[in-house]
Amino acid sequence: MSPDSLRLMLVDEDPVFRLGLKIWLEQSAGFEVAAEASQGEEALALLAARCRPPTDSEAEADEVESEPAADTLPDLDLVILDLGLGEGMPDQLPGLQLCAAIKSRYPTLPVLVLSSRTEPVLQAAARQMGADAYGARGMPVRELAQLIEQLAGPPSQGIEIQAPAMAAETFTRLVPSPLTALRISLRLSSLQQIEAAIAELSNAQRSGTSSALSEALLAGRYRELRAARWLIKRILATPGFSDQWSPVTAAEPASAAAPPPQRIEPMAEANLPEPGRNLVPTTSDRLSLQRGDLQTVVFESVFRKLQSPLENISGLPLEIDILREEKKRELLFLTLRKLEDALDDLRQARLLPGQLTVTCPDILRDVWQAVITDFFGRYYTLEVGVLEQPVVKTLLLEETTVQTAILNKIPQVPLLLGHLLFQEAMVVDGSAYLATTPEALGRSRLLLENLLIQVANAVMQPLLNRFADIEEIKKYLYQRRIMSTRDIERFRNDLSWRYRWDSLLNEPKAVFESQHRLLMLTERGIQTRFVYAPRQEELDRLSGLQLSVTLAIEARDAIAPRLRTTISFLGSGLVYLLTDVVGRGIGLIGRGILKGVGSAWNDPKYRRKG
List the CATH number of the domain containing 90: 3.40.50.2300
Buried b (16+ CB within 10 A) or exposed e, 267-292: eeeeeebeeebeeebeeeebbebeee
> Mean of the per-residue pLDDT values for the chain?
78
Query: Is the per-residue pLDDT at 264 higher than 60?
Result: no
- Dihedral over alpha carbons 506, 511, 513, 516 (to 10 degrees): 80
Please check whether residues 301 and 155 belong to one and the same domain: no
Question: Which one is predicted more confidently, 303 or 30?
Answer: 303
Query: Is the per-residue pLDDT at 463 higher than 90?
Result: yes
Query: Is the per-residue pLDDT at 2 higher than 60?
Result: no
**Least confident residue range of 38-47, 135-144, 282-291, 534-543:** 282-291
Confidence of residue 169 (pLDDT cuts 50, 70, 90): very low
Q: Is residue 365 part of a domain?
A: yes
Please check whether residues 155 and 53 belong to one and the same domain: yes
Query: pTM (2 decimals)?
Result: 0.57
Q: Is residue 257 part of a domain?
A: no
Q: Is residue 551 part of a domain?
A: yes
How far is the C-alpha of 492 from the C-alpha of 504, rounded, in Å?
19
Confidence of residue 456 (pLDDT cuts 50, 70, 90): very high
Please check whether residues 437 and 384 belong to one and the same domain: yes
CB-CB contact of 105 with 54 (8 Å): no
How far is the C-alpha of 477 from the C-alpha of 325, rounded, in Å?
9
Please check whether residues 323 and 181 belong to one and the same domain: no
How far is the C-alpha of 460 from the C-alpha of 329, rounded, in Å?
13
CB-CB contact of 198 with 232 (8 Å): no
Closest-CA residue to 286 (of 262, 307, 303, 270): 262
Q: pLDDT, tens digit, for every residue of 578-593?
A: 777 777 778 777 777 7
Confidence of residue 172 (pLDDT cuts 50, 70, 90): very low
Phi/psi for 32 (5° steps) reads -145, 120
Q: Which are the contacts of 72, defined by CB distance < 8 A and separation ≥ 6?
A: 51, 52, 53, 54
First CA to last CA across the chain, in angstroms? 120
Report the percentage of the chain scoring pLDDT > 70: 77
Q: Is residue 253 part of a domain?
A: no
Identify the DSSP state of 52: E
How far is the C-alpha of 342 from the C-alpha of 574, rounded, in Å?
69
**Least confident residue range of 243-252, 263-272, 303-312, 546-555:** 263-272
**HEC secondary structure over 231-292:** HHHHHCCCCCECCCCCECCCCCCCCCCCCCCCCCCCCCHHHCCCCCCCCCCCHHHCCCCCHH
The CA angle 375-393-334, to the nearest 5 degrees, is: 15
Q: pLDDT, tens digit, for every residue of 322-363?
A: 999 999 999 999 999 999 999 989 988 888 888 888 999 999
CA 493, chain centre distance (Å):
28
Q: pLDDT, tens digit, for every residue of 58-67?
A: 445 444 444 4
Query: Is the per-residue pLDDT at 278 higher than 50?
Result: no
* Sign for the pseudo-dihedral over CA of 601, 605, 606, 610: positive
3-class SS of residue 210: coil
Confidence of residue 276 (pLDDT cuts 50, 70, 90): very low
Q: Is residue 471 part of a domain?
A: yes
How far is the C-alpha of 548 from the C-alpha of 563, rounded, in Å?
21
How far is the C-alpha of 93 from the C-alpha of 97, rounded, in Å?
7
Average pLDDT for 82-102: 79
Confidence of residue 165 (pLDDT cuts 50, 70, 90): very low
Please check whether residues 323 and 422 belong to one and the same domain: yes
How far is the C-alpha of 183 from the C-alpha of 158, rounded, in Å?
42
Q: Is residue 122 part of a domain?
A: yes
Please check whether residues 221 and 148 belong to one and the same domain: no
How far is the C-alpha of 441 from the C-alpha of 138, rounded, in Å?
20
Please check whether residues 205 and 98 belong to one and the same domain: no
3-class SS of residue 78: strand
Strands 111-115 and 78-82: parallel
Please check whether residues 293 and 349 belong to one and the same domain: yes
Report the percentage of the chain scoring pLDDT > 90: 27
Query: Is the per-residue pLDDT at 540 higher than 70?
Result: yes
Confidence of residue 242 (pLDDT cuts 50, 70, 90): low
Please check whether residues 84 and 181 belong to one and the same domain: no
Query: Is the per-residue pLDDT at 317 higher than 60?
Result: yes
Please check whether residues 213 and 361 belong to one and the same domain: no
Q: Which domain holds residue 290?
A: 286-537
Identify the DSSP state of 113: E
How far is the C-alpha of 214 from the C-alpha of 225, rounded, in Å?
16
Question: Which one is predicted more confidently, 176 or 277?
Answer: 176
Q: Is residue 277 part of a domain?
A: no
Please check whether residues 390 and 349 belong to one and the same domain: yes
Query: Is the per-residue pLDDT at 394 higher than 50?
Result: yes
Question: Which one is predicted more confidently, 518 or 308?
Answer: 518
Confidence of residue 173 (pLDDT cuts 50, 70, 90): very low
Long-range contacts (CB closer than 8 Å, 24 or more residues apart) made by 363-367: 363/413, 363/417, 364/403, 364/407, 364/410, 364/413, 364/455, 365/399, 365/403, 365/407, 366/342, 367/335, 367/338, 367/339, 367/342, 367/455
Instruction: Give pLDDT, residue 128.
Output: 84
Please check whether residues 369 and 471 belong to one and the same domain: yes
Q: Is residue 254 part of a domain?
A: no
**Least confident residue range of 301-315, 496-510, 564-578:** 564-578
Structural domain count of the chain: 4
